[in-house]
Structures are given as structure tokens and as C-alpha cells.
Amino acid sequence: MKRHLTLIFAVGTAGYVGTGCLHTPPPHPRAIEAADLCAEYLNAGDLTTAEVQCDLALQFAPQFADAWVNKGLIAMRRGQEDNAKDFFIKALRYNQEHAGAYNDLGFIYYKNRQYGKAHDNFQRALKVNPDFNEARYNLALTFMGLNQNDKAKKEFRTVIAVNRNLADPYAMLGKIAHDEGALEDAEQQLRSAVELAPTFADAWLELGNVLAEAGKAGEAKDAYESCIEADPNKAECRRNISVVNKSAKLQEESLKNIKEIKEGKRDAPNEYAMARTYRDKGLKNDEKRAYFRCLKLEPKFAPCHYGLFEIFKDDREDKQAKTACQNFLKFAEGTEYPKEVETCERYVSANTY
């Protein structure tokens, strides 16, 4: 009979109850007809009509395992996990070779992070049908939950070997590689995922994160934009675009600074002048970075220590402000900065302003 799957590669359902083997009679033809209609309505999202047809099938054949499985899927769609679990267990009482029931039972255990029981059910599903790719994918996810990534990777690769057109296992292999710090492998796997499924928003997001970590800001931005195209409500992709834009700007600025320093175009007074320009424009972060660049070039350049003091004081970071003032007083010439010296002396002694 036609059977509706919960979601392709959405991990599973409940547990297994060992029972004696029951010899069930073949289902009545009307039971098969009603069960097929139940599956069709379930696929269409009409749960009420689907349930009516499944109940009708069970009136003709109370031991019809497929109908009990679809009853379980209806309950899952409604968020009634306990009922779903009972229906799947009942299906297995009548047919202990029902791979779908084991897989759906495993889903509930996986969802509740009962990974050991989930593992056992997915393994039973694969024992019945080694080509059951959904159960194999779910088993791989369960191995990830158990922190057994090597076993997870083996199962994901087997899923791909059976069907190379599925994006999900490539995406999960990419995630594992990213977690393990293998950025090149992660990028390769995730690009395979988005090539197969261009609207796979989560894969685009993970790819963007990998590229950003690898220092490829421009490509990361493209990935995040593709993520938003796939799912306009994906807030994390929008946030990450602004982060990667800022990162790209800082990288560009850093390279420019290094080049100018090597060419002798950068010195502490120039950085201080740039910082004051940023201050006039209200660009506090840029101002702070300019002071730090200034002191990196010339650690004893007193005005930059005072500039940091002003920022820290405004931000009420008293400890850092006091340190900046002490550094300023150490390197400043009193006759050159009389007002600033007086301000810092008062601040250091009172630790307030």
C-alpha cells in the first residue's frame, strides 16, 4: 500500500515493544482501499478525512499494520506524540517486519534525545530494509547526537551512495567538517548541498559561516544573500550579512594600513588626526581603533592615550579609563597639555570625573 512519510529525512518517532510473532490475516480489499485513501489525504494535509479513512480500514482489518502506522503519522502531525507512539507500537505487534514503523518510532525517541532507543529502532528498520535511506539518514543524525561523528559520516556517505541527488546528507557532512575545523571539506560538502537544493536556506547559512571563518568575506556575503532569497524570514542570515560586511571593511582597512605603514605613509600623529575626525563624526568604534593603531606605531604618543581615556570614561569603563590616564600622565609634557594633565590627575586620584 502507499505509505506517507513524515518528512523526508526528518528524524523519527517512538520505541519498540518486543511481542510474540502474530500471524495476521491478509487485509480485506476494502481495508486496502480505505488505507490508500488515508495515505492520500494525509499527503494532502487533510488530517480529519485521513483519520476517517484509516479508522474505516481498521474496521475491516483491525490488525492492518499500515493503517496503524498512518494513524500514528496523523497523531504526530497533530503533536500527539504519546498517541503516535501507541499506534506505532500496535503496528509492530501486528507486523514486526514493518520498517516504516521502526523508523517513525525512532523519530520520537530522537526528538526527545533518547538516542540509544532511537538508534535501536533505526537499526531494526535497516535490518528489514537496508535500502531504507530515510532510516539510514536518521541513524546518522542519531550518531551525531551520540557524538559519534565517524559513524555518522559513514552513514551519510552511504545515503549519498544510494542516492546522490539528496542535498541533506551533503549539508550534514559539511556541518560535521565545520565543527571539526576542516573548512575546505566543509565548503565542498555545503556547495554540493546548495547545488542540489538552491532553496536550502540552512545549507546556505552554514556555508556562509564556513566562508566567513575562512576569511572569504565576499563569498560569505553572497551565501547569506542566497540564504535570504531562499527564506526571507531567516533573521540569522540578515544579521550575519552586516557582520561580514563589517569584517570585509576591517580586512580592507587593515591591508591598507599595513601597506601605508610599510610605505611610511602612516605614523602616530596621522592616526591621532584620523581618530579626531572620526570623533567629530560620532564614529566611536573607528575612533577607538585609530587610537590603538596610533599606539601600536608609537606606544608613548600621549594624545592617543588621552583619547582612549575619553572613550573609556564616556562608556563608564572606569578601570580602563584610569589606566589610560596613567599612561597619558607618564608620557605627557605638562606644559604641552596642561588642561588634559589636570583632568587626568583629578580622575586618577578620585577615579571619577
Residues in the chain: 353
* 251 and 280 within one domain: no
For the chain, the average pLDDT equals 85
Q: How far apart are CA 76 and CA 69, in angstroms?
A: 11
Confidence at residue 297, expressed as pLDDT on a 0 to 100 scale: 87
Q: How far apart are CA 64 and CA 90, in angstroms?
A: 10
Q: Are 220 and 211 in contact (CB under 8 A)?
A: yes
Confidence at residue 130, expressed as pLDDT on a 0 to 100 scale: 94
SS3 content of the chain, % helix, strand, coil (to 5): 75, 0, 25
| Cα dihedral 14/119/177/8 (nearest 10) | -40
Q: Is residue 90 assigned to a domain?
A: yes
CB-facing half-sphere around the CA of 185: CA atoms within 13 A? 12
What does the pLDDT average to over 202-229? 91
* Res. 268 pLDDT band, cuts 50 70 90: confident
Would you say the C-alpha torsion 110, 114, 119, 125 has a positive or negative sign?
negative
* 252 and 284 within one domain: no
* 314 and 208 within one domain: no
* 191 and 68 within one domain: no
Confidence at residue 264, expressed as pLDDT on a 0 to 100 scale: 56
Confidence at residue 12, expressed as pLDDT on a 0 to 100 scale: 33
Confidence at residue 22, expressed as pLDDT on a 0 to 100 scale: 44
Give burial (CB, 10 Å; 0-12/13-18/19+) of 329.
buried
What does the pLDDT average to over 331-339? 80
* Res. 182 pLDDT band, cuts 50 70 90: very high
pLDDT per residue as tens digits for the range 118-135? 999 999 999 999 999 999
- Pick the last residue of a domain from 216, 231, 265: 265
* 217 and 272 within one domain: no
SS3 63: coil
* 209 and 101 within one domain: no
Confidence at residue 9, expressed as pLDDT on a 0 to 100 scale: 38
Q: For 47-56, 88-97, 342-351, which range has the lowest pLDDT when averaged over its residues?
A: 342-351
Q: Is residue 108 assigned to a domain?
A: yes
Confidence at residue 135, expressed as pLDDT on a 0 to 100 scale: 96
Residue located via cell numbers 589610560 = 324
Q: Is residue 147 assigned to a domain?
A: no
Confidence at residue 333, expressed as pLDDT on a 0 to 100 scale: 74
What does the pLDDT average to over 221-241? 90
Would you say the C-alpha torsion 12, 15, 20, 23 has a positive or negative sign?
negative
Q: How far apart are CA 138 and CA 135, in angstroms?
A: 5
Q: Is residue 154 assigned to a domain?
A: no
Minimal CA–CA distance to 169: which of 200, 212, 128? 200
Beta bridge partners of 162: none
Q: Is residue 279 assigned to a domain?
A: yes
Q: Is residue 142 assigned to a domain?
A: no
pLDDT per residue as tens digits for the range 289-317? 889 989 988 999 999 999 999 999 999 88
Q: How far apart are CA 221 and CA 344, in angstroms?
A: 44
Q: Is residue 306 assigned to a domain?
A: yes
What does the pLDDT average to over 164-192? 95
* 87 and 116 within one domain: yes
* 46 and 17 within one domain: yes
Confidence at residue 5, expressed as pLDDT on a 0 to 100 scale: 28
Range(s) of the domain holding residue 10: 1-129
* Res. 20 pLDDT band, cuts 50 70 90: very low
* Res. 191 pLDDT band, cuts 50 70 90: very high
Confidence at residue 177, expressed as pLDDT on a 0 to 100 scale: 96
* 120 and 22 within one domain: yes
Q: How far apart are CA 261 and CA 251, in angstroms?
A: 15
Domain count, the chain: 3
Confidence at residue 269, expressed as pLDDT on a 0 to 100 scale: 87
DSSP state letters, 273-306? HHHHHHHHTT-HHHHHHHHHHHHHH-TT-HHHHH
- Could you list the beta-strand ranges (E) of the chain: none
- Pick the last residue of a domain from 265, 297, 325: 265
The pTM (predicted TM-score) of the whole model is 0.62
Q: What is the CATH number of the domain that holds 342?
A: 1.25.40.10
Three cell numbers, residue 41: 489525504
* 109 and 53 within one domain: yes
Q: Is residue 148 assigned to a domain?
A: no
Confidence at residue 265, expressed as pLDDT on a 0 to 100 scale: 60
Q: For 21-25, 217-221, 273-277, 330-334, which range has the lowest pLDDT when averaged over its residues?
A: 21-25
* 71 and 83 within one domain: yes
Q: Identify residue 159 by its one-letter amino acid code.
A: V
Beta bridge partners of 223: none
- Pick the last residue of a domain from 238, 265, 292: 265
SS3 228: helix
* 33 and 81 within one domain: yes
Confidence at residue 274, expressed as pLDDT on a 0 to 100 scale: 85
